[in-house]
Structure 1
Amino acid sequence: MSNSNRALVPEARQGLSKFKNEVAQELGVPFKEYNGELSSRQCGSVGGEMVKRMVEEYEHRI
């Protein structure tokens, strides 16, 4: 059984974690080591904003 949550580029894990924390801080979402008390909406807003910024960055590069 494979782990689908495995990073394709393991070295990117630290950078993505830093990026997630920066976005969460900007959105006012209190991310910590354990985030079980956060709502799905809060977590989704961070993930959505991360994707939006990554797409924008990609579009600026092409």
Structure 2
Amino acid sequence: MSRNNRVLVPQAKAGLDRFKMEAASEVGVNLKEGYNGDLTSREAGSVGGQMVKRMVESYEKKL
């Protein structure tokens, strides 16, 4: 199985990790540093959805 989850700008990794943790806490998902493969699909999806929602809101404010 191929994974394409690499960070294109390595210097951004810490910021992305903080952003992910903030989004997870907003939706009530308990993320931990490192492996989070024990999350349900619903939990992982809600974190990703919250991240996208915040990115879209940020982009719209800049328009």
Scaled by the length of structure 1, the TM-score of the pair is: 0.84
Deviation at 1:5, TM superposition (A): 2.5
Q: Unaligned stretches of 5+ in structure 2?
A: none
Contact in 1 for aligned 2:21/2:31 (Cα 8 Å): yes
Same amino acid, percent of matched pairs: 62
Deviation at 1:9, TM superposition (A): 1.5
Cα RMSD (Å) of the superposition? 1.4
Q: Unaligned stretches of 5+ in structure 1?
A: none
Partner AA of 2:27 in structure 1: L
**In 2: Cα distance, 1:6 partner to 1:36 partner:** 17
Runs of 4+ in 1 over 2 A off after TM superposition: 3-6
**In 2: Cα distance, 1:29 partner to 1:6 partner:** 22
Scaled by the length of structure 2, the TM-score of the pair is: 0.83
